[in-house]
Structure 1
Amino acid sequence: MTTPHRENIHRAAARAALEVPGVAALQPTLADRLALAAFPVHRAMAPGTTPHREAAGIRCEPTADGGWNVEVRCILHADRRVVDVARQLREDVRTAVTTYLARHGTAAPVTVTVTVTSTV
């Protein structure tokens, strides 16, 4: 698995998550915040390099069987039922990642976990 391949999986998952009606934003993790804070230091110390950074609110990990576990942390609009948005979010992200993998010659199982951190 190459880094661009992994980053494309993150992008596909993030794009699908943000297109679900009722999703206000993706929730950045502490690691995202620390990475953003450290980026100027990293760039100054290693010019021309870019650290691998997951999309805010999306965490993707390959599984031992060649599949993927995708975790989505998000903030939802308060005028929507959380359970309905979470179900659609899970399905849309699974479909997007599965489609991306199929287009690139990898038929792999994808598991999606949705965590709603707050509503606005």
Structure 2
Amino acid sequence: MTADAAGVARAAASATLAVPGVVGLQPSLGQSLAAAAGRVGHSRGSRPAAPAKGVHAERTPGSGAWRVEVRCVLDGEHRALDTARRVRESVRSAVVSHTARHGAAGPVTVLVTVTRITGR
């Protein structure tokens, strides 16, 4: 059994949401459009797999490296830089563990984008 991008994205999403100061994940425009298209397809009888909204994971062909992008909303009561760093490390650790369990280990790069800060 090998790790796939959807499984890596789910592991990254869970790790992100477990970090104190993270309010939620923010889907990218592409994910929002894909979800809307999926709802149309679902109403016609097909059911696409639901990706982890706010997370995009892909494996680089040839090198086997994983690139994970996380878009998150943070709580204004926490320092954004510290929270983003904790998200990066938590996601990296979760993805390394997930891919190792599924025989798809490789270098992991995590990009964290803070899309909004709430509260205060």
Q: TM-score range by the shorter chain?
A: 0.7 to 0.9
Query: After TM superposition, which residue ranges in structure 1, 4 or more long, deviate above 4 angstroms?
Result: none
Distance in 1, matches of 2:65 and 2:105, equals 8
Secondary structure of 1:119's match? strand
Greater mean deviation of Cα atoms: 60-69 or 49-58: 49-58
> What amino acid does structure 2 have at the position aligned with 1:93?
V
Structure 1 range deviating more: 76-85 or 33-42: 33-42
For residue 28 of structure 1, report the CA deviation from its aligned partner: 1.2
Partner residue, 2:78 = 80
The percent identity for this pair of structures is 49
| Whole-Å separation in 2 of the counterparts to 1:115 and 1:40 | 26
Q: Distance in 2 between matches of 1:20 and 1:79?
A: 13
Q: Secondary structure at the match of 1:12?
A: helix
TM-score (norm 2): 0.87
State the shift of 1:32 in Å. Answer: 2.2
Question: Aligned AA for 1:99?
Answer: S
CA contact (8 A) 1:71 1:112 kept: yes
Per the TM alignment, residue 35 of structure 1 is displaced from its structure 2 partner at its CA by 2.3
Alpha-carbon separation, structure 2, partners of 1:69 and 1:110: 6
SS at match of 1:70: strand
Structure 2 counterpart of 1:62, from 59, 62, 69: 59
Kindly state the Cα deviation for residue 76 of structure 1 after the two structures are TM-superposed: 0.2
1:38 positional shift: 2.1
Q: What amino acid maps onto 2:10 in structure 1?
A: R
- The aligned runs of 1:1-120 (5 Å cut-off) are 5-45=4-44, 47=45, 49-64=46-61, 65-120=63-118
**Number of paired residues?**
117
SS at match of 1:14: helix
Structure 2: tracts of 5 or more residues without a match: none
Query: How does the TM-score come out when normalised to structure 1?
Result: 0.87
Equivalent position amino acid for 2:37 in 1: A
Take 2:81 and 2:89, find their aligned partners in 1: how far apart are those partners? Answer: 12
How far off is 1:31 after superposition?
A: 1.8
